[in-house]
Amino acid sequence: IMHPDPAFRWPKSANDHHDADERAALEAMISDIGFGMVFAETPDGPRGAHVPVFSTGDGALQFHLARGNALTKHIAKGKALCVINGPDAYISPDWYGIDDQVPTWNYLALELEGKVRRMEREGLVSLLDDLSAQNEAKLAPKKPWHRDKMDGQKFEKLTDAIIGFEMEILAWRPTAKLGQNKPAAVRESAASALEATGRRAVAHLMREFGKK
């Protein structure tokens, strides 16, 4: 589960992706989680794949698939959908401290829809470098791993087994269900109870979403 940085702020305009603050928050979410599920139609029906993802910051999302993946031969022939799931947690009605509530599930998620193209090998290698750099940076103060540490021929052989893709994002669809329809005191009560169960990420986002 993602544990957002204390400085993370999810914007209030949760449905307007043209808002600069929200776009920055969505980019931060992609970078922080770094993993998604890609779905597309194939001749054998819809298929999905779990993939590391990298946002270029200019409206494109990059990922790679194994050559033998059911999506690899077909995903660049049309549109695809990528779903990035943030933290989620069950919310008990008892935690609100008010009557006549029902159980629910709070979560943060992002859907990205767009056209997909196959990347050239040079682009794939660049993607692999970007992915490792982005994720190794999260492990600081550990010294970052780089592919220079491995045998060049071994790297080339492993790279031959995958294909890189880039999605031109045509639609950003974020969903933030964090109890924002509840009064601040009620939301804080639920967040505190949730935090006590160890689900700190959702509790943190519930509090941040409620700030003015």
The pLDDT assigned to 200 comes to 94
The answer to whether the beta carbons of residues 76 and 166 sit under 8 Å apart is no
Tokens 């590391």: give the residue: 52
The pLDDT assigned to 210 comes to 63
The pLDDT assigned to 113 comes to 97
Residue range 18-33: mean pLDDT, rounded: 85
Strands 79-91 and 104-118: antiparallel
Residue range 139-154: mean pLDDT, rounded: 95
Query: Confidence class of residue 108 from pLDDT cuts 50, 70 and 90?
Result: very high
The pLDDT assigned to 181 comes to 87
Residue range 112-116: mean pLDDT, rounded: 97
The pLDDT assigned to 19 comes to 67
Residue 3 has pLDDT above 50, yes or no: no
Report the SS3 class of residue 77.
Answer: helix
The pLDDT assigned to 2 comes to 39
Q: Identify which has the larger pLDDT, 61 or 4.
A: 61
- What is the CATH architecture of 20-209? Roll (2.30)
* CA 169 to mean position of chain CA atoms: 14
Residue 80 has pLDDT above 70, yes or no: yes
Residue 159 has pLDDT above 90, yes or no: yes
Cβ of 151: how many Cβ atoms within 10 Å?
9
The answer to whether the beta carbons of residues 24 and 13 sit under 8 Å apart is no
Q: Mean pLDDT for the chain?
A: 90
Tokens 């949730």: give the residue: 194
135 burial type by CB count under 10 A (0-12 exposed, 13-18 middle, 19+ buried): middle
Residue range 141-151: mean pLDDT, rounded: 95
Q: Give the global pTM.
A: 0.86
